[in-house]
Structure formats: structure tokens, C-alpha cells
Structure 1
Amino acid sequence: MAFSGALTLSDLNDFISPSQACIKPVEMAKTSETQGAIKVDDTGSYYEVSQDGSETKLETATISLNDCLACRQTNDPTKHRTVVISISPQTRASFAAKYKQTPLQVARKLTWFFKNLGVHSVFDTSFSRDLSLLESGREFVARYKNAVKKGTIKSPTTNESVPTSSEGGDMDVDVQQDVKATKAPRKRIIRRGVAGASDEPAVAVETESAMPMLASACPGWICYAEKTHGYILPYISETKSPQQIMGSMVKNHFGTQLGLNPDQIYHVCVMPCYDKKLEASRSDFYSDLYRTRDVDCVITSTEVEKMFSEQGQTDMIAFGEVNLDPGYNSVIKDPITGADQVLVGASGNASGGFLEYVMQYAAKELFGIDGIDVDKGLGVEVKTVRNADFREVTLQLPGASEPLLKFAAAYGFRNIQNLVRKVKTGKSPYHFVEVMACPSGCINGGGQLNPPGDNHATVPLKDWIGLADQQYRNSVMARKPEENPVLKQLYEEWLGGVDTPKVKQQLRTGYHAVEQNLINPLAVKW
């Protein structure tokens, strides 16, 4: 007899997990029984009023000389930092939907607004997304080949059809021959604490061959995995998110061009999600040498809109427009109309297009199949499973019994929980999964704008998300990341190639199971 997944108990012991147990601390701090009130007189002075009616004037908080000497910091007016702002395409789409502007108009107006505040440069994270997509594709191809060599997955074709060079496509070497070659050093994720102990699967997993590969651009998903599912970490892509790759580029490449050290640049990212603030604060993205972060500050779309009113600018439509800065902006001269600037970017969904691009890249590099378009359903089968937030994309040759590649997109924690459960038990049928914590993905991030008037009654949430998604896809000319000429220059001049230690340093990262220090004795497993 089958039971509902929601009602089945996974552990039949006396242990009560922290999520089920009362988390009220055993030790309670005693509160003072004395009750009083605070009174403010006409002069603005504060008085404490006791129960007997007596009043005591409260002293104004001051900073003494002793405080300054203890702080030991100085206000150095000569320590000027160059401010750089990077804007996400999801933010651009949200403003375009609300103010009925084109994405290019929004980009120009936001550039005008920030330049008036003294910002040095305004960039577009669509540019760093190209780099993130390209690295994700290369990482997937390398993992796929390693998994085939180790026998953890079975290649649906002959050995000769799956190239085994580290970057794909350049060499056609038989897999059996390559197994005899010197093996690469193993790399494992060290898992500690509750998240890495109680959930540890029976078989250890190596990052270089862990399948399915799970996308890493969503910080909400990463935080959830690190805190609750340590066993899943080796499966997560090591490629940095577009935000953090832009941070590496701004601090370590753009700064060098200006003759500045990383700590002389203040880098702000405008994002659709509050969790991006947590991502920027990770210790992995902090330089001990320069004592600075790759991204110093993250503000959301709604916080930028609040800045408008603080600056006396309530109507974005009335903003001026300036051309986008050269450098890290995805704009070119329109080859058809001859317009000075037109936005370009990778095709795909409004969460960055990781599923679409990795599928295209892997199909070409592994099997020599070109011309795939996931959005249009060309060359692949796209199927919605359970709900609109879970899709499957399958690449299968006519008449073949097994698919060449099977990808999925899982949005929202309900779908994520089902996914990680299958990965843990080894029952996941996928090679790659685009994972996003928010239902509908990044375009529906918690930091995105509300409809005009903040009224979802007149514009239902589903329709509002659809408008923003439409703006995300419209007015942007499709261009594959590998066709970006500036990226080729970055690999040659900044990174020294496509497979170098500097690539791993600047474009890759790692993950850490978070140890949970439980203060509730009832939650301790005996």
C-alpha cells in the first residue's frame, strides 16, 4: 500500500528534529518586575517615569574621547573609493514592466540616476552572466566525461563519440584508453556538523563526477543546502553566480585598468533578491589581503525605487537618459537598424538561462548536435511535470531507447525537497538541474517591484510576473556567450586561458556544510 509522501515518516525513533521540537530555550532570563514609562517633553528631552510618578531626566548619549581612543579608527578624507554599480537584467525588467519603458530605456535612465549621485561606472550583470554560463557549460561537460569514465553514468553512445578532453570537442579519444592515463587528484567536499552527518549518504561522492550537476546561481538554494543537506554539496556547480563573477571582474580586472587596488573600489549590485545580500557576505568572497569583499553592498529593485523618492525623483519616466558605459555592458550597435546601442544577451528563461545554455553547449560538445533551442522546443522535448515550476527537457535521438541528456528546472522549495530526496537515494534521472528557491524563478524575487499602486487585486501576481518576464525577453538580441568578443579578450589577457589556476580562483567557488549549534536539549539525539 502506497502512502502519501507528505504523511510518510522517514525516521521511526524517539528523536525530535529541531523543526518539530519546541525551540524555546530552557534557561529563561529573568525580567525586572519594575515597570515604568518614557516621557518626552516639549523640548524633546526624555524622562523616565516610575510607578510612584517621579520623573528622572535621561542623559543624551554622547561619544567621549575615551570612546574615540578605544575605536582607534580615523576619518581619512583622502581615502576616496570609486563607486561602481552593477544592475541585474531581472531588475531592469521589473522597472520596465512597472514604468512601461523598454529595458534599454530603463538601463539608460538608471545609469543617468546613479551618475547624478556620483557613481563612476554602471554595468550590467548580463555581461558576467555570459561568463557564468560559459563556465557552467564547461564544468558540466567535464563532469559528464568523468562520470562516464568512472562508470557512474552510462554513455548512451559509443565511447568514441564522447570526447574526453577537459574542455570538450577538441579531442576524440576512446574512453577506455583514457582510463589508463594518469588519474586526476580526487576532490571531495568536507562535510561537518549536523547538516553533513545525519544526511550523509552511504557512498561518498566526488565533485568532479557528481551527477546530476545542480545550478549554483541562487543563494537561497545554496543556503538551504548548506544548512540542511550537507550530502548534496558535491553535486552543486562550483561556478560562481553572475553577481560574484562581476565582483571578481570589477575588483580584480576593471580596478587594475584604473590603477586601483580592490579596496579602492566600492562595488554595489542591484539584484531582484534579498538573499543576494547573504551571498555577497560569504567569507569565500572576501580578500584577506585587501580586507574587502568582491561585492561590498547589495540593494534590491525596491530599495532603488525608494532611493528615487529620497532624491526627490518620484517619476522614473521623467529621468534623463545617457548611453551605457563601455566595458562590462551587453550592448552593441544594431546591425539591422543601425541604432547606437541595443541590448544583447543569452537566450533563455528569466532565471539566467542556465538550463537552456548548458543543454545547447553539452549537446554540441559531447554529441556534435547543434541548433537546439529549448525555448522554441527545437531538437528537444520540453515537458511540464506536476506544476509550472518543474520542467523536464530531454535530448533524444529518433528511435533511441535512452535519452542523450535529461535536464530539469526545479523552482520553489516544494520541488527542491523532492529533488534532493531523489538525489540522496540515487534515483534522480537528470544530468543537470536548474534550481531556484523562488517560485517562477528570479523574475519573482522578493526584492522585485510591486505593480503600480502596490495593488495585486488589479494586477494578479501571475499576470504581473508574466509582464516582467515578457520585458526580460523583449528588446534583447540573442547572442551566445562564446560569441561575446570581450569574453575572449578577458580569458586571454586577464585569466591566461580557459583552464588555468586563475580561472579557478576568479570564477569558481566552494560550499561548506553549516554546523548547527542546538541550544535546545530536547532536540539532542541520544
Structure 2
Amino acid sequence: VCLFSKTAAPNEQKLVVVSVSPQSRASLAARCKMDVLETAKKLTAFLKSLGKCVHFVFDTTFSRNFSLLESQREFVKRFRKQSEEKKALPMLASACPGWICYAEKTHGSFIIPYISTTKSPQQVMGSLIKGHFAEQQHLTPDQIYHVTVMPCYDKKLEASRPDFFNQEYQTRDVDCVITTGEVLKLLEQEGVSLADIDPAPLDTMFSGAAEEELTSHAGGGSGGYLEHIYKHAAKELFGIQVDTIQYKPLKNKDFQEVTLEKDGEVLLQFALAYGFRNIQNLVQKLKRGKSPYHYVEVMACPSGCLNGGGQIKPDGESSKDQLQQVESLYESLPTEIPEQNRTVNELYERWLGGPASEKAARALHTQYHAVEKTSTGFNIKW
């Protein structure tokens, strides 16, 4: 990253922005035995010390507000259209690129209509950084080099999708993805321990003052999609206020159900499906017309994103103990409600011209593409 910025001619030097996922931060905090806020401040200092070329370090929790709000609106719209549109429901989550890849390659045009069009927090951050933030800095999108730190190798594939490439400026929304494990390698290469680094103030994208606190979202380490959509839909569609959600594990904790009932009638039925075995079962049910769900939070990794393939591997302790530690660190932050985030609401108006605008659709939504099967002599079995 830094070489890229430093060796460029003066007129080509780029502003380097790093966006860090909350899952990566929790994994680093567990490894370095620190709390999450301290980890964030020290990681900011470390990244900015690398060749002195990282200018801003942001938190993708901010962009996840948009992903959650858009998913909520999209679900309500689909629910209201289900009588005319056969494939409006179930709506399937779209933030996991491992799942999207599998869906496009293996089930193509059958599954695509069910998948939410809302961009993942990584790609919303890409739109924000190369859009509104670039304008604020009086730069064109190609004058910013945007790096993300993610719990997942498939986020690299997601960033390289043609849908997230700006033709006019010949630049990606996210230029480079590094995993949490790769950040640990960087620390080791530099011969430093995160614990020994002096903390730096956290950057904030749109207000002058430095952030002194971090927030998260309720509903688990994969982003809380089910929980936010469920509560919003219960209120918006049925006028029911849901405060706490009762999950009912089915075969295992990676497949859980949530049901909203009134007078014995099922109004909403949602599920979490994590890991490929549960995803395959879900798709088979859909193909047989036997899926009872209105919405499914689908994630390719067992236990979801906190257990992503790009997270730091256990060092001595069991992977179960490590995951529990990462989960409790992730859940240690105060939670925010996306609807109540003032900056997010302002940006909808100032940057996008309102939630229903064409600009909002372009910046916050995407599309999927069935991958034509090439006939080879072997079939990959998931």
C-alpha cells in the first residue's frame, strides 16, 4: 500500500484510507489481550506508522448502518410484493461473499432473485470513501487508495467484482483487502507487538472531533441482519414492538429459527443458516418449495464472521475457547440503533438525496450474475 503511494509521482500520490471491520478488531483484541477500544486506537497508530502513508483509519460499523437500514427497507418492500412476485421471499442475506460465489456458480438463476440486493458493509464503505468522502477531500475517486481489513479471504473476491469498479475513473471502490491474519503478519514483520504501541485518536469520517468511543450493532457477530430486519418488519408490517428475540436452535446452533406469532398465527418466520451444510439444506428446501422462511441470514462460515477464514488462528488455546473470547470482546461494545444515527440520516439527505433516490440505489445496492457452468470432467462437491 505504502510503496504504491510513496513511489507515485507527486501528482499521482494517493490519499490512503484503511477501513477496519469490527470482527477483525475483536480477533486482534483477543490475540493481544486488550479491550476493543484500546486495540482500535493502537491499530490506528500502527497502520499510520507504516511508511507514514496511511492518512485515515475508519470503522466499517459506520457503513454497516446503511447495509442494515437498506436490508430492512428491502425486506418490507419484498414482503408487500410477495403475492405478485413468486421469488420475492424468502429474502436471503447478501453480505457474505463466500455464499454469493457459491450461489452464483452452483444455483445461478434459480437462487439469484431471492438474494438481497443490498451491498455488504465493505462495499458500502467503498461507495462512501470513493464518493462522498472523496468529494469532501476535493479528490476524484482514483486519487484515493482504499484498503479494508476483513475476517474473510472471500472479501478479496468481492472487492474485485466488476460491479464494484468505477469505469469513469478506472478505479475499484475497494482497492485492496487484507485479512486479520495478514495484519498480524505485518505486525510480526515490523517486529512490534500491538500492546507496546502508543494509542492514536480514532478518525471519524464526517465530524471535526476525534472519536473517543466505538459502537456495535446487536444481533451477533455477522452483523445482526436477522435481528434488525425482524424488529423493523414486526413494527412496520404488523405494528408489533419486539424488544428481545427468542432464537430456537434446530439441528445445531448454526441453524436457528425466530418466529413472530399473534393469536396462534405465524406472521414472520426467520432463520440463521451458517456453514455450507446448512446452506445446502436450505437451498434444497427452497427447490422443493418447502422453505417456510421469510428471511434467512446466510453465512458461509460455521459460527459466522467472527470465525471467518481470515481471522487469527488459535495460539495454544482451543479454537472453541478462542472463538468465545472473540465473541465476548465483540459483544463488549455499546450497541447503536441505525435509525438513530444522526450522521447516517444526514448523509442519506446530503449525499444520496434521500433513501428512495436513484443515487441511493446505485451507491447501496448491487446485482448478481449466474456463472455459466463449463463442462469439465469433474464436479466440485461442497
TM-score (norm 2): 0.93
- Measured in 1, the distance between the counterparts of 2:137 and 2:205 equals 12
| Match of residue 473 from structure 1 | 331
| Match of residue 38 from structure 2 | 105
| Match of residue 278 from structure 1 | 157
Unaligned runs of 5+ in 2: 1-6
Residues 1:217 and 2:95 aligned together: yes
Contact 1:127-1:328 within 8 A present in 2 as well:
no
| Deviation for aligned residue 1:367 | 1.1
Q: What amino acid does structure 2 have at the position aligned with 1:483?
A: Q
SS of the residue corresponding to residue 477 of structure 1 reads coil
- Measured in 2, the distance between the counterparts of 1:345 and 1:487 equals 14
| Match of residue 490 from structure 1 | 347
Q: Residue by residue, what CA displacement relative to the aligned partner does 1:345-397 show, whole Å, maximum 9, x if unpaired?
A: 221100000011100111111111124222xx3xxxx2100011100011112
| Match of residue 269 from structure 1 | 148
Contact 1:351-1:443 within 8 A present in 2 as well:
yes
1:317-336 mapped onto 2 (5 Å cutoff): 317-327=195-205
- Measured in 1, the distance between the counterparts of 2:360 and 2:371 equals 26
- Measured in 1, the distance between the counterparts of 2:237 and 2:19 equals 34
Residues 1:234 and 2:113 aligned together: yes
- Measured in 1, the distance between the counterparts of 2:268 and 2:376 equals 46
- Measured in 1, the distance between the counterparts of 2:302 and 2:125 equals 25
SS of the residue corresponding to residue 29 of structure 2 reads helix
Contact 2:46-2:194 within 8 A present in 1 as well:
no
Taking only aligned residues, the RMSD between alpha carbons, in angstroms, comes to: 1.8
| Deviation for aligned residue 1:270 | 0.1
| Match of residue 320 from structure 2 | 462
| Deviation for aligned residue 1:76 | 3.5
| Match of residue 140 from structure 1 | 75
| Deviation for aligned residue 1:293 | 0.4
Residues 1:436 and 2:299 aligned together: yes
Contact 2:257-2:272 within 8 A present in 1 as well:
yes
Q: What amino acid does structure 2 have at the position aligned with 1:370?
A: Q
Alignment counterpart, residue 384 of structure 1, candidates 242, 249, 258? 249
Alignment counterpart, residue 359 of structure 2, candidates 498, 502, 510? 502
- Measured in 2, the distance between the counterparts of 1:373 and 1:243 equals 28
Residues 1:515 and 2:372 aligned together: yes
| Deviation for aligned residue 1:281 | 0.3
| Match of residue 14 from structure 1 | none
| Match of residue 179 from structure 2 | 300
Q: Residue by residue, what CA displacement relative to the aligned partner does 1:237-279 show, whole Å, maximum 9, x if unpaired?
A: 0000000000000001100000000000000000000000000
Q: What amino acid does structure 2 have at the position aligned with 1:499?
A: A
- Measured in 2, the distance between the counterparts of 1:387 and 1:371 equals 24
1:50-69 mapped onto 2 (5 Å cutoff): none
TM-score (norm 1): 0.68
- Measured in 1, the distance between the counterparts of 2:126 and 2:115 equals 20
- Measured in 1, the distance between the counterparts of 2:73 and 2:329 equals 29
| Deviation for aligned residue 1:328 | 6.3
The structure-2 alpha-carbon separation of the partners of 1:294 and 1:345, relative to structure 1 and needing over 3 Å to count, comes to same
| Deviation for aligned residue 1:75 | 6.3
| Match of residue 395 from structure 1 | 260
- Structure 1 segments of 4+ aligned residues over 4 angstroms from their partners: none
Name the structure with the higher helix share: 2
Aligned length: 369
Contact 1:86-1:123 within 8 A present in 2 as well:
yes
SS of the residue corresponding to residue 54 of structure 2 reads coil
- Measured in 2, the distance between the counterparts of 1:278 and 1:75 equals 26
The structure-2 alpha-carbon separation of the partners of 1:107 and 1:492, relative to structure 1 and needing over 3 Å to count, comes to same
Q: Residue by residue, what CA displacement relative to the aligned partner does 1:454-482 show, whole Å, maximum 9, x if unpaired?
A: 33xxx2212211110111000x1121001
Contact 1:342-1:477 within 8 A present in 2 as well:
no
- Measured in 2, the distance between the counterparts of 1:289 and 1:111 equals 32
Q: Residue by residue, what CA displacement relative to the aligned partner does 1:56-81 show, whole Å, maximum 9, x if unpaired?
A: xxxxxxxxxxxxxxxxxx96443111
Contact 1:274-1:446 within 8 A present in 2 as well:
yes
The structure-2 alpha-carbon separation of the partners of 1:266 and 1:307, relative to structure 1 and needing over 3 Å to count, comes to same
- Measured in 2, the distance between the counterparts of 1:106 and 1:241 equals 24
| Deviation for aligned residue 1:450 | 1.9
| Deviation for aligned residue 1:301 | 0.3
Residues 1:130 and 2:65 aligned together: yes
- Measured in 2, the distance between the counterparts of 1:103 and 1:286 equals 33
| Deviation for aligned residue 1:116 | 1.3
Contact 1:346-1:353 within 8 A present in 2 as well:
yes
Q: What amino acid does structure 2 have at the position aligned with 1:386?
A: K
- Measured in 1, the distance between the counterparts of 2:42 and 2:244 equals 32
- Measured in 1, the distance between the counterparts of 2:287 and 2:359 equals 33
Q: What amino acid does structure 1 have at the position aligned with 2:34?
A: Q
Q: Greater CA radius of gyration, 1 or 2?
A: 1
Q: What amino acid does structure 1 have at the position aligned with 2:29?
A: A
